[in-house]
């Protein structure tokens, strides 16, 4: 897992100067803080982001629903698969394709999904000549619309598997595959899950957008303190909330609230220091956050512990081996200073959906209801505005809408899914299900077009030669910190997706991985922050591996 070695700090003047920008323009501004122009020229970045976000169903891409009693809902679900994942995914895939074409390379993307990420990855990557996408979803644990967003895409570069298990189960064979350096290098294997830094990077923008829209910052005079904004986030894998923590460090005065369903590990961690998995994942009305392994909390821990790689390594190794870790009280207090949390049952989800409809004639998706529950049960500070993140359209969760006793006019695009042909392969449960799934997925990756020579520049020999050549080139970017800490082996980085990375060894000496050896960090990496008005790029673009 990767993070920028430095986090740029935004001044109040910079923030206020962004008030007139559209969401699309904000994505460009935020991304340009992390992407050097020598890697992606500014004009190219503007075109890529504009193209990535051109297919959304509302002109402004995202919008705020202002409802009664100060209930402000930031709608992030107007993309092709009706989920907030479309925002960062579309930009990430466009950026990846940009590098693949420039390098005349191919890649294979491996994605595990709890419901929304898989469909978003597929629709962002479908038909791209240099990219194969292999997606695994938990059979019987997602909605019909979520499933059809994946299985109705029949392009040759899309490969879908339905696994008899939870999304956390799916992560196990995927981790094994990503840990195989030969497979990774020969097939350009990478992830589009939120382990990919680019996903987190783009998500920073909607927190900035929410702040500029809802905090009241436009009423302040130059030189006055920035007002706070409370942002309530439905939370599963914790990628979205990790982005919020980074935005806090960038200087935005956000109060973050992570709301979860009955899979309440994030709530227990923040409130009690109990970072432990339950015996099994509980199926709820909000399936996209039915997660017991919120792997992006590793990013949050790393930031809060002042980038102490050794401490985070020990913490995460204990968690992965024993399924539990108890935070020391001093660490829990640090966490509670940037986050509060709460958990909601299915009955409370339905109650919130009904109440919002009765008061506003506005239908919430069950995940958004997990956040909006707080509006009805925890009145906001009258001095602080509050924003609720709407992560998906209710059209994807018709069973929950019906159970709440509500009706909803389905978009034509959703209705059309019922008439489309489908294609997927099953991964059945067996005594050695993890090994069996790994074998099946490995075979698919090895037979995919990107690894079979079916596309220009895509055969194994060409890829190995290109990788070797890439290792001898001048490094363009040098400030991305590897957080995986899973072994003492060098981190394998595709040049097209991760030009260089900092490895934190057990001796706590940051080193650059590149060329034939380790290169010392450049002097400008010593500071953890840039000046407010002299912002500089600080990280590599699309790191590929855990």
pLDDT computed for residue 123 by the predictor: 97
CA distances from 330 to 195, 259, 271, 298, 397 (A): 27, 22, 13, 17, 40
SS (H, E, C) 179-237: CCHHHHHHHCEECCCCCCHHHHHHHHHHHHHHHHHHCCHHHCCCCCCCCCEEEEEECCC
Average pLDDT (120-127) is 96
Domain assignment of residue 348, yes or no: yes
Task: Please check whether residue 183 lies inside any domain of the structure.
Answer: no
SS3 56: coil
Sequence-separated (6 or more) residues with CB below 8 Å from residue 321: none
Calculate the CA 317 to chain-centre distance. Answer: 22
Looking at the chain, the whole-number percentage of residues with pLDDT higher than 90 is 76
Give domain status of residue 275, yes or no: yes
Residue 486 has pLDDT above 70, yes or no: no
Task: With respect to residue 6, please indicate whether it lies within any of the assigned structural domains.
Answer: no
Q: How far is CA 314 from the centre of its chain?
A: 24
Pairing of strands 339-343, 254-260: parallel
Interaxial angle between packed helices 167-178 and 433-447, expressed in degrees from 0 to 180 and rounded to the nearest 10: 60
In a domain, residue 230? The reply is: yes
| pLDDT > 70? residue 510 | no
Q: At what angle do helices 329-338 and 265-272 cross, to 10 degrees?
A: 110
Domain count, the chain: 1
Residues 227, 215 contacting (CB under 8 angstroms) = yes
Q: Are strands 274-276 and 324-326 parallel, antiparallel or unpaired?
A: antiparallel
pLDDT at 114: 87
Which whole number is the average pLDDT over 501-505?
30
Counting every residue written for the chain, the total comes to 546
Give the domain range for residue 335: 63-83+222-414
At residue 224, the pLDDT reads 81
Of the chain, the percentage scoring pLDDT greater than 70 comes to: 81
User: What whole-number distance in Å separates Cα of residue 235 and Cα of residue 121?
Assistant: 19
Cβ proximity of 53 and 91 under 8 Å: yes
β-sheet with 189-190: strand ranges across: 189-190, 107-112, 131-138, 158-163, 425-427
Give the count of beta carbons closer than 10 Å to the beta carbon of residue 25. 16
Please report which confidence band the pLDDT of residue 545 belongs to, taking 50, 70 and 90 as the band edges.
very low
| 222: confidence class by pLDDT, cuts 50, 70, 90 | low
pLDDT in tens, 187-205: 999 999 888 999 999 999 9
Give the pLDDT confidence of 61-112 residue by residue, as tens digits: 999 999 999 999 999 999 999 999 999 999 999 999 999 999 999 999 999 9
Is the pLDDT score of 499 beyond 80? no
Edge to edge, the sheet with strand 254-260 lists: 63-66, 72-75, 385-390, 229-234, 254-260, 339-343
Residues 2-19 have pLDDT tens digits of 899 889 999 999 999 999
**Structural domain includes residue 371:** yes
Amino acid 220: pLDDT = 65
Span 381-400, average pLDDT: 96
How many whole angstroms separate alpha carbon 392 and alpha carbon 62? 12
Residue 355 maps to which CATH number?
3.40.50.1100
- Per-residue confidence band for 282, with pLDDT thresholds at 50, 70 and 90: very high
Q: Residue 542 pLDDT more than 50?
A: no
Joined together, the tokens standing for residue 488 give: 């003492």
Q: Is residue 400 part of a domain?
A: yes
DSSP 302-352: HHHTTT-HHHHHHHHHHHHHHSEEEPPHHHHHHHHHHEEEEE--HHHHHHH
Which of 98-102, 220-224, 522-526 holds the top average pLDDT?
Answer: 98-102
Give the pLDDT score at 408.
86
Q: What is the mean pLDDT of residues 327-352?
A: 97
CB burial string 197-217: b at 16+ within 10 A, e below: bbbbbbbbbbbbbbbbbbbeb
* Both tokens assigned to 430: 């067996």
Q: Is residue 320 part of a domain?
A: yes
Better-scored residue on pLDDT, 223 or 164 = 164
* Contact by Cβ (8 Å): 505, 199: no
pLDDT for the residue numbered 41: 98
Does this model's pTM top 0.85? My answer is no
Q: Residue 223: what pLDDT? A: 67
Could you report the per-residue pLDDT of 413-441, keeping only the tens digit for each?
A: 999 999 999 999 999 999 999 999 999 99
Q: Mean pLDDT for the chain? A: 84
Task: Return all residues near 248 (Cβ < 8 A) that are at least 6 apart.
Answer: 254, 256, 338
pLDDT bin (cut points 50, 70, 90) of residue 1 is confident
């Amino acid at each position: 897992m990767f993070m920028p070695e430095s986090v740029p700090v935004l001044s109040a003047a910079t923030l206020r100067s962004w008030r007139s920008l559209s969401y699309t323009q904000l994505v460009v501004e935020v991304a340009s803080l992390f992407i050097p122009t020598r890697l992606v020229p500014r004009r190219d970045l503007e075109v890529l982001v504009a193209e990535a976000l051109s297919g959304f169903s509302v002109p402004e891409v995202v919008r705020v629903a202002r409802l009664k009693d100060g209930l402000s809902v930031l709608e992030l679900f107007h993309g092709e698969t009706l989920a907030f994942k479309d925002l960062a995914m579309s930009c990430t895939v466009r950026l990846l394709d940009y590098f693949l074409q420039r390098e005349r390379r191919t890649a294979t993307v491996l994605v595990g999904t709890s419901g929304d990420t898989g469909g978003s990855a597929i629709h962002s990557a479908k038909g791209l000549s240099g990219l194969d996408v292999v997606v695994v979803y938990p059979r019987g644990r997602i909605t019909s619309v979520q499933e059809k967003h994946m299985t109705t895409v029949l392009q040759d570069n899309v490969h879908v598997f339905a696994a008899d298990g939870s999304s956390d189960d799916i992560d196990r064979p995927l981790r094994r595959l990503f840990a195989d350096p030969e497979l990774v290098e020969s097939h350009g294997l990478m992830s589009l899950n939120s382990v990919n830094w680019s996903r987190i990077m783009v998500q920073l923008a909607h927190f900035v957008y929410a702040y500029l829209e809802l905090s009241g910052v436009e009423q302040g005079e130059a030189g006055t303190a920035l007002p706070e904004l409370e942002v309530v986030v439905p939370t599963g894998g914790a990628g979205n909330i990790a982005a919020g923590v980074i935005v806090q460090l960038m200087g935005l005065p956000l109060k973050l609230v992570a709301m979860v369903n009955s899979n309440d590990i994030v709530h227990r961690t923040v409130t009690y220091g109990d970072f432990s998995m339950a015996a099994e994942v509980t199926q709820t009305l909000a399936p996209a956050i039915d997660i017991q392994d919120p792997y992006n909390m590793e990013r949050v821990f790393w930031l809060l512990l002042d980038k102490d790689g050794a401490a985070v390594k020990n913490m995460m190794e204990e968690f992965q081996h024993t399924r539990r870790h108890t935070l020391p009280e001093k660490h829990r207090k640090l966490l509670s200073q940037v986050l509060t949390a709460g958990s909601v049952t299915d009955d409370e989800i339905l109650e919130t959906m009904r109440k919002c409809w009765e008061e506003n004639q506005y239908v919430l998706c069950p995940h958004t209801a997990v956040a909006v529950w707080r509006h009805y049960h925890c009145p906001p500070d009258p001095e602080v505005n509050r924003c609720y993140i709407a992560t998906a359209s209710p059209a994807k969760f018709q069973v929950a809408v019906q159970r709440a006793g509500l009706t909803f006019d389905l978009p034509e695009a959703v209705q059309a899914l019922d008439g489309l042909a489908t294609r997927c392969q099953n991964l059945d449960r067996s005594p050695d299900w993890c090994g069996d799934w790994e074998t099946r997925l490995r075979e698919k990756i090895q037979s995919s077009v990107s690894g079979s020579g079916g596309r220009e520049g895509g055969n194994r020999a060409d890829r190995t030669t290109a990788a070797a050549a890439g290792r001898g080139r001048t490094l363009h970017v040098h400030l991305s910190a590897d957080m995986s800490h899973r072994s003492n082996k060098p981190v394998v980085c595709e040049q097209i997706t991760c030009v260089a990375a900092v490895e934190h060894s057990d001796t706590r000496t940051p080193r650059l991985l590149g060329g034939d050896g380790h290169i010392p960090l450049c002097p400008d990496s010593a500071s953890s922050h840039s000046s407010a008005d002299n912002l500089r790029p600080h990280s590599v673009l699309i790191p590929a591996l855990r």
